[in-house]
Structure 1
Amino acid sequence: MAGYWKSESGGSRRLDSWIVPRVILAHHHQPSEVTGLPPDEEEAATEQRAAKTWLQDAATPGGVSTDKWRVWWRGNTLFHELVELALRKSLFPTGSQVTQLLVQGVRAENLRSPDLQSTDIAPHQRLLTECSGWAVSREMPPESRKAWTCVYSTRRDGRSWSTFQASIESKGALLLVVKEKQHNTFGAYIDSEIKKGPSWHGNSQNFLFGNGVVYRTTGFNDHYQYFNYGKETLPNGLGVGGQLGHFGLWIDCGFVLGSSSPAATFASPRLSAQSDFTIDAVEVWLVRPSKLFDGASIAGGAPSVVETHAEAAALLELANRPMYSRNNI
């Protein structure tokens, strides 16, 4: 995962690199071995042995190997930042001058969790938790990290393609979260409006995520998103990345089955346990409304664009131009 915020000073990082090995060493209480090395080299060797033992302890039998753990540690910048933040708060009291100096340059919006607006869904029924929402939001553009509205949930709205389609089409930037029957949860961030059509559209801000990893666009192709329905010769459903018939993530319009394949668009592996999977639950969060909408109008609380421009609407009607419903732009 990409970095989320960076301190302008390297002092805290040097402090972390000094203190973490010593914390590990203190937990193991390993006696020094007589090596004949100079004191500095002997200390470094002891720290390396302690760290190696700690890595071996962290790798459960039959589970994650030390090599895989090292790869995860090196690639998970988010965890590094959380450790750094925890160390800062542990070592320096909140409000102290040192703390204020350490957090200078850190943008508040990069630390704030999005406001998840889903009062009609119990937290234990949501696929997206506060923690997972915060983690995935770090990968989004800043304007998509504020208030999120759950516009569709199978657990609230039932399993309906027509409801799903109406909830996502031309609404704005979306976060799609899918849970398969085999309990894996994965999804996609879709940055630009979803529009019905036979061709790919979207932009390079899109990404896929699963198993704690975010897969960003590679530039290999521009197959960012595909959305179609009511066609006989083309796939009907929502797809992100990959190729027609071999999508990085695919939700079929039957709304029972989905699929996931390795996708060069994001250099992503298969996200589901098997290529074809049975849908258990789906959630869609509107993370940034399009310019034609605002959060209140989507929720039904504010007038639509047509209603706020009644004069222009009347002229269009006089000219016999087709009009959208005042309640459904």
Structure 2
Amino acid sequence: MGVNSSKKLAAKCSFLSKDEQLIVSNSFKLASKNSERIKEDELTKLWGSQMDARLLQYINNYLFGRAEQRMTTVDLERFAELFVFCTRGTVDEKVKVLLTSLGKSEEECNDIPYNLVKEYVETIVSSYMKIQKLSNSKHYKSWAGKGCSTHTQNSQRLAESLTRDLAGDSVISRRLLETWLQGSTVLGQLLLFVFMHLYNISHKDKSAAVLSEKQPTSIEADQSSVESDGTKERSLVPYCRGLDLIPSYPSILDLNQIVFINAHLPQQYQVEWRFLFSSEIHGESFSTLIGRIVNQGPSVIVLEDRSGYVFGGFAPANWTLGPNFFGDDSSFLFTLSPRMRIFPSTGYNQHFQYLNLHQQTMPNGLAMGGQHNFCGLWLDAEYGKGHSSESCTTFSGYQQMSHTKEFHFRHLEVWGLGQPPPTPQERGERVIGKGGSILDGNAESKAMLKMAGKTIHSEGLREPPNT
């Protein structure tokens, strides 16, 4: 069957858009070797190296059937159906894929073991991470080139976090499964990426007859976005910026954890992370931390306590020194180890961010959530100390994030998101050398000195302006 024949067959699938017809027909032609049906062993050769072996088995279950009714080949319509159901399918369609992949029939949909569903999700997560490495996109290389890796344990933690709403039952009903899939936006994004990659595999060299002995290449959909049916889905892997002069960065984050945090950020902040601070690089100093994060825009804070618990928060507002809480309800806290959890805003109060230093009547340190002495996250101005309270009304579902309420941390890092606020020069304010004085510069340093009670002796000692 030639390419025109596969296109004609795809055109008969009324559920495919024109863009999808092209994707599916090209993929079917490659997998079937120009015939009218795909053999299971040929699809295994084509896709096997691209994903978790367990996910390949699940996909083959869907396409070729269960053991007693298993077919040796599959036609284009079934092949196209899998693509559509996994990239933009309805809840019912995604339930159908899940049940059939797990070897369940429609009649067996009320007694699905939780562990089986969790493993299914785990194979999607691990396949996503594997494809990231294979596609070697700009975003992936920006992290991998600095020593960031993927750990199986964190893939399992990410899968567990995605299925946590099902964990209360040993077996799951279809109704619960539908409700869960309806709200699983992150899982939907992972599915979209995985299946867009699989169906976009192509010969890098048109003369190559077989892909099984070579690593297939794909349309690098993750360079900036994955396009499907005219829509765009942002990559869940942000671009890492600011580490050009650091050959190997000692981050505590792996790619699973980065994806987990990034997937919950407002979409405008998912594109790029800017390195701001690391205790491994900048030393253990609260004043240095402040100097690196003040006026840098929204940020993500991540720390690891001495017991190995990893947690932090998303701060949507520009960090500024002052006596009051600030920020907005897009703020959230999170844990990464031993479990991955997100604690979004409750709306009960506005205690999202606080930063103060060298004050006698106010707490000195950095806070997110809660109230003074009972914060969701508190980093003391005496560097290395902090606390995470047992409860925090600012964030929903909150649980103590550190191993013990009062903790000491051994690593802290901060990442800026999006573009930093404009500088005084960019705002059109008077700059040094144009009628101003060098004393007008370093406003942040002067503010810090004033807050510390230091006298600025050079204040008032200005040369007369040029006329």
Q: TM-score normalised to the size of structure 1?
A: 0.72
Task: Please point out which of 166, 189, 198 is paired with 1:81.
Answer: 189
Q: Which runs of 5+ in 1 are unaligned?
A: 1-6, 27-42, 294-303
Alignment correspondent of 2:343: 215
Task: Please point out which of 319, 323, 328 is paired with 2:440.
Answer: 323
- Please list, as runs of the form range in 1=range in 2, the aligned pairs for 1:252-291 lying within 5 A after superposition: 252-261=380-389, 262-267=391-396, 268-291=398-421
Alignment correspondent of 1:67: 168
Where relative contact order (Cα < 8 A, 6+ residues apart) is larger, the structure is 1
Q: Take 1:277 and 1:13, find their aligned partners in 2: how far apart are those partners?
A: 43
- Please list, as runs of the form range in 1=range in 2, the aligned pairs for 1:1-329 lying within 5 A after superposition: 11=89, 13-25=91-103, 43-49=105-111, 51=113, 54=116, 66-67=167-168, 74=180, 76-87=184-195, 89-90=197-198, 92-94=199-201, 103-108=228-233, 110-117=234-241, 118-121=243-246, 125-210=250-335, 211-261=339-389, 262-267=391-396, 268-293=398-423, 305=425, 314-317=434-437, 323-325=440-442
**Count of residue pairs the alignment pairs up:** 285
Give SS of 1:282's match.
strand
Query: 1:179 is aligned with what amino acid?
Result: E
1:282, CA displacement in angstroms? 0.3
Q: Report the aligned-residue RMSD.
A: 3.9
Contact 2:88 2:192 in 1 (8 A): no
Q: Take 1:84 and 1:241, find their aligned partners in 2: how far apart are those partners?
A: 34
Give SS of 1:286's match.
strand
Quick one: percent identity of the two aligned structures? 20
1:16, CA displacement in angstroms? 2.6
Q: Map Cα deviations across residues 98-134 of structure 1 (whole Å, 9 max, x no partner).
A: x9x99225424x2252111224456572123333223
Alignment correspondent of 1:31: none
| 1:327/1:244 CA distance change after superposition, 3 Å | closer
Q: Take 2:273 and 2:118, find their aligned partners in 1: how far apart are those partners?
A: 41
Give SS of 1:107's match.
strand
Contact 1:12 1:102 in 2 (8 A): no
Contact 2:430 2:436 in 1 (8 A): no
| 1:312/1:135 CA distance change after superposition, 3 Å | same
Contact 1:25 1:47 in 2 (8 A): no
| 1:121/1:264 CA distance change after superposition, 3 Å | farther
Give SS of 1:178's match.
strand
Contact 1:123 1:129 in 2 (8 A): no
Give SS of 1:192's match.
coil
Alignment correspondent of 1:35: none
1:175, CA displacement in angstroms? 0.9
- The structure richer in helix per residue is 2
| 1:25/1:233 CA distance change after superposition, 3 Å | same
Q: Take 1:53 and 1:114, find their aligned partners in 2: how far apart are those partners?
A: 31
Contact 1:13 1:84 in 2 (8 A): no
Q: Which runs of 5+ in 2 are unaligned?
A: 1-84, 121-159, 203-217, 447-467
Q: TM-score normalised to the size of structure 2?
A: 0.52
| 1:17/1:184 CA distance change after superposition, 3 Å | same
Give SS of 1:127's match.
coil
Structure of greater Rg? 2
Give SS of 2:298's match.
strand
Contact 1:16 1:84 in 2 (8 A): no
Contact 1:12 1:84 in 2 (8 A): no
